A and B are shown apart, each in its own frame.
Chain A
Amino acid sequence: MLSMAQRMHSTLIGRITVFGLSLANQRQEVARGHLVAESVERVRSSCRKGGGEPERRRDAETKERDAYAKFAGAPLKVHKITNPWRSPTGSLPALKTVEEGSISQPSKIIIHLRKQKYNADYDLSAKEGADTLAFVSLLEEKLLPALVYTLWIDSKNYVDITRCWYAEHIPFPLNFLLPNRIHGQQLEKLRLLRGDVALEPGEQLEKELYHDAYECMTLLSQRLGSQKFFFGDTPSSLDAYVFGHLAPLLKIKLPNGKLHQHLSSLKNLEKFCSNILLLYFPSDARETPNRKVHVQSDSSDFDSEPHLRRNQILSVLFAVGTMLGYAVLTGIIKVKRKSLPLKNSSHGEEDDDDED
């Protein structure tokens, strides 16, 4: 459960971007140079695929088993790293391109992809394009603060889930620094946005943020209606944005899950998310019912087990060694040497010699 949820909790913006890629791949067939996308995940051996060939479809893709695996077959190599300092721009997600160096902001990433002719919005009318912009603003103003609050600022969620995940997967010494730093940054940002310098996480703030988020989700649900995607039968960038924001809410099991409850009550949004999950992230979707059988979960256990075992053995050895050392030094345990008599006799002979 945790590993599945962890995968879903890869930076949601990274998810938007890479999702956008898969949509675009369906529509355009242009061979481009190579793009590298990175996201926060466990370190894996990344699958090296060559530069873009147009006929590469998402189901013929990479051998990687993660959500972003299929995008690597397109002219995209996905490197999963846990250390944000190793990314080309210093933060995640990051896109490293051959032509233009590294890009970090998601909107710029999407613009770059569009310039490379990977455009999921190709078929949209002018009005639909305008609607996309408007709904993206709505999401960012109303839903994103609540999402950030529920993951990073709500004390129960942060301490129980978010901080643990990050601490487990980020290498030493960042695992002590980074989660707290992100927590502080998000709180500061929220304070600035609300214009209240003395804002503290609490009931009142939570109610206000969640109220806005519920309204936003209800509006999205009303706009979606009974359609499969927001603009007809094919997905667009708005679908990617909405999915990126809603999927973590749906999949991550948080102790304080009010947003999840509200989202579950909006059946069409839930269906929308699971639909996209099924179509574009089949490995993740398969994982939910049958965790043990899937290779993913095996590898995850495998990954964590030797670590655990090793830690246990090492700590036991260390404890035993310390106790033994202490015991010997203080004389509780005396070490008897068998060679003592022999030494005495030879020593005695020497003495005799010396005396003489």
Chain B
Amino acid sequence: MSLAAEAFVSQIAAAEPWPENATLYQPLKEDQILLSDSASSLAVQTFLRMCGLPVEVSCRANAEYMSPSGKVPFIHVGNQVVSELGPIVQFTKAKGHALSDGLDDVQRAEMKAYMELVNNMLLTAELYIQWCDDSTSAEISRPRYSSPYSWPLNHVLAYQKQWEVRRKMNAIGWSGKSLEQVYEDVSQCCQALSQRLGTQPFFFNKQPTELDALVFGHLFTILTTQLTNDELAEKVKSYTNLLSFCHRIEQTYFKEPEREGQSSRHSKGALP
């Protein structure tokens, strides 16, 4: 969102309280959604649950095209549409719900830095594995991404998306990396998160913040998603405090029997 639009949205947002009919849009859970989108979507859902804000999840095949920034998930609240975790956090803050108010300056700086770390390494690694690794791309990503569409549109869209992601990887210098190096990066990122978490229940004090939501979204999705091999999940599993962190958040915020974002063919269901 441009700055002017952001300021405008915040102003409007502050005027009204959170409505009951807020909706979150994401691609189709069973057939279409991919690892990275599922992770982002789960992160937003976790954040909203942590704030205690009700939101209904709606799955649409064209969610990506409906989104104002082209990225999923996005929420439809009142008469505004906001996409991606960063702007959604600011939007909820304008409505008066914030998780990171109790942090001091140094902690806030660290929180932002760690969120960037997750976006920079985990999200990029997920995108790489999905679209730049030929076997995963051919067996999982392309079929799933294009499942709602008929021939020949499905081929066109799938290859277009793949080309776009590969160009982006090239621009940030990841195209020269091998799969092993990407797994190594994921491992490094998890090690950093694990060291930061230590033995605490959450990353900062006893209260969850948007960082916890983001980390949970990504790690849970990695652990419960079936890819061509299990190596990614194994990398995450080797850090026991991260595993127990995920369990804890799942128990606290996703207690109901019908848990969103978890029951799909693509996903294995519960945490190991």
Contacts and interface: CB of A to CB of B under 8 A. Distances in A.
Interface of A: 105, 126-127, 129-131, 133-135, 137-138, 140-142, 188-189, 192-193, 195, 204, 207-208, 211, 215, 219-220, 222-223, 225
Interface of B: 2-3, 69-71, 105-106, 108-110, 112-114, 116-117, 119-121, 167-168, 171-173, 188-189, 191-193, 195-196, 198
A142 B171 CA distance: 16
Contact of A208 (B2, B113, B171, B191): B2
30 contacts: A105-B173, A126-B195, A127-B195, A127-B196, A129-B195, A130-B192, A133-B188, A134-B116, A134-B117, A135-B113, A138-B112, A138-B113, A138-B116, A138-B117, A140-B120, A141-B116, A141-B120, A142-B116, A188-B171, A192-B167, A193-B171, A195-B69, A207-B3, A208-B2, A211-B3, A222-B106, A222-B108, A223-B109, A223-B110, A225-B106
A204 B2 contact: yes
A260 B195 CA distance: 35
A279 to B, nearest CB: 24
B109 A130 contact: no
B167 A130 contact: no
B109 to A, nearest CB: 4
A265 to B, nearest CB: 16
A192 B121 CA distance: 17
Closest 10 CB pairs of A and B: A130-B192, A134-B113, A219-B109, A222-B105, A137-B120, A137-B117, A192-B171, A126-B195, A138-B113, A134-B117
B222 to A, nearest CB: 18
A195 B198 CA distance: 36
A129 B196 CA distance: 9
Nearest to A223: B109
Most buried by B among A133, A188, A207, A220: A133
Given A130-B195, A138-B116, A193 B172 contact: yes
A229 to B, nearest CB: 15
Contacts of A189: 171-172
Contact of A131 (B2, B105, B113): B113
A141 B123 CA distance: 13
**Chain A interface main SS type:** helix
Contact of B113 (A105, A137, A192): A137
A204 B3 CA distance: 8
A193 B168 contact: yes
Nearest to B191: A130
B196 A131 contact: yes
A208 B110 contact: no
Contacts of B171: 188-189, 192-193
Contacts of B195: 126-127, 129-130
Contacts of B193: 130
Contacts of B168: 192-193
Contact of A223 (B2, B106, B173): B106
Contacts of A208: 2-3
Given A141-B120, A207-B2, 9 more contacts: A130-B191, A134-B113, A192-B168, A195-B69, A195-B70, A208-B2, A208-B3, A222-B109, A225-B106
A42 B3 CA distance: 42
A220 B108 CA distance: 11
A207 B4 CA distance: 10
A133 B117 contact: yes
Contact of A137 (B2, B106, B121): B121
A5 B15 CA distance: 50
Contacts of B3: 207-208, 211
A125 to B, nearest CB: 8
A298 B85 CA distance: 55
A313 B167 CA distance: 50
Contacts of A140: 120
Contacts of A215: 112
A137 B116 contact: yes
Contact of B119 (A105, A130, A141, A207): A141
A192 B124 CA distance: 14
Nearest to B120: A137
A292 to B, nearest CB: 42
B108 A219 contact: yes
A345 B241 CA distance: 115
B192 A133 contact: yes
Nearest to A205: B2
A155 to B, nearest CB: 20
Most buried by B among A127, A134, A215: A134
Contacts of A223: 106, 109-110, 113
Contacts of A222: 105-106, 108-109
B146 to A, nearest CB: 20
B110 A134 contact: yes
Contacts of A195: 69-71
Contacts of A141: 116, 119-120
A135 B3 CA distance: 24
A223 to B, nearest CB: 4
